[in-house]
């Protein structure tokens, strides 16, 4: 999970908060 977060953070430049929103949205759908 941590590895995936780091990869996405590098790819999209997220600082952490937007990343959590993305995971929350994907989890609900």
pLDDT in tens, 1-29: 788 878 877 877 656 566 677 777 777 66
Residues 18 and 29 sit within 8 Å (Cβ to Cβ): no
Token pair in block for residue 27: 């989890």
Check residue 11 and give its pLDDT.
76
- Of residues 4, 11, 3, the one with CA closest to residue 23: 4
How many folded domains does the chain comprise?
1
Check residue 15 and give its pLDDT.
61
Residue 21 CA to residue 29 CA, distance in Å, equals 13
Check residue 16 and give its pLDDT.
55
Residues near 4 by beta carbon (within 8 Å), at least 6 away in sequence: none
Provide the residue range defining the domain that includes 13: 1-29
């Amino acid at each position: 999970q941590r590895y995936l977060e780091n990869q996405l953070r590098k790819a999209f430049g997220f600082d952490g908060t937007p990343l959590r929103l993305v995971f929350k949205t994907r989890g609900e759908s």
